[in-house]
Amino acid sequence: MIERTLVIIKPDAVKKGLIGEIISRFERAGLRIVAMKMLRLTKEEAAKFYPSDEGWLRSVGSKSLKSYSEIGKDPREDLGTDDPVEIGKIIRGWLADYLSMGPIVAMVIEGNRAVEVVRKIVGSTTPYSSPPGTIRGDFSVDSPDLANLEKRALFNLVHASDSPKEAEREIRFFFRENEFVDYT
């Protein structure tokens, strides 16, 4: 099934000079870039990109709590709370800081099962556990425990939509319909 998904090359990857490397991995897999732009978001614009509903905040906070549990550390020491929604709000702020700390490249990638294929190419959200051969596994070793200790988002180089529904919302955030290019 032909799908479209959003990929953002985040400021840390732009700073490391990885734009071409990242794009080439998607193209070598047979995916097509149908829209692309480089831009710089304000913190307020970046905050609007991330959902603020309780379900999303709880999910993000729960992932962080799981990381704390795995390393045997109390999240209240670093974050002042163990409430997953409150932790989600903190992380959402860090994500907005991260996405606005430098230029990004937003692109729409199209292809057969694009959402799933792109996520395989990108690797696990947590770079240190991403296998070699993935973008995150090859170019980053960041971890949630270090990010939380330093009170910042996880530096994981790229964003990739996690579902076709989420891809639609995210694509509309960056692109208008007349910005897509169709080619064979």
Q: State which of 98, 114, 132 marks the end of a domain.
A: 98
Residue 61 lies in domain: 50-98
pLDDT of res. 78:
86
Q: What is the pTM (predicted TM-score) of this model?
A: 0.94
- Is the residue at 182 inside a domain? no
Give how many domains the chain has, as a whole number.
2
Mean pLDDT of 52-72: 92
Check whether residue 119 and residue 84 sit in a common domain: no
Check whether residue 93 and residue 116 sit in a common domain: no
Q: Which residues of 42-117 form beta strands (DSSP E)?
A: 104-112
40: exposed, middle or buried (Cβ count in 10 Å: 0-12, 13-18, 19+):
middle
Tens-digit pLDDT profile for residues 68-90: 898 888 999 989 999 999 999 99
| Secondary structure letter of residue 40 according to DSSP | -
Catalytic residues: 159
Specify the amino acid at residue 167: A
Check whether residue 109 and residue 94 sit in a common domain: no
